[in-house]
Structure 1
């Protein structure tokens, strides 16, 4: 299943934000910041990545429902998306 580029613009924005946050975490470690602060920021990066992944899956599900022309293919796509969802859960 391929997703439309336009529908993933929000995901790209989330990933770029996470990329910046991860750079900040690396800098915090290099600057020997407090462990608590580093972990807090690392958790924020993790949540941002999870949200991006869930958004990709949600977008795929929306497209499966909208494109329901081939029921067998739609079922296969949904099964694949379910597996991907479980890898993030």
Structure 2
């Protein structure tokens, strides 16, 4: 099974959506994140990480607010944003690295 570490080592950009089930803005962002993933299929990867189930990952990257979005490439954090975003901003950020 692929680990978080394996996934973020990709040379393609990986958007990580750190979220929580109880978070209203996270729920609002969910369809946007799904659409971005669909639009960038093959160019970038999108994964969701529940901070309550993956506390180690959330702590390792000092995620203190949800949603927090991060773009990883070759294991390095290339971009980070906490809070809601529109689809175009997310797409543009990922396209810069793909």
Q: TM-score, normalised by structure 2?
A: 0.27
Q: Which has the higher contact order (CA 8 A, sep 6+)?
A: 2
Q: Which has the larger radius of gyration?
A: 1
- The structure in which a higher percent of residues are strand is 2
TM-score (normalizing by structure 1): 0.28
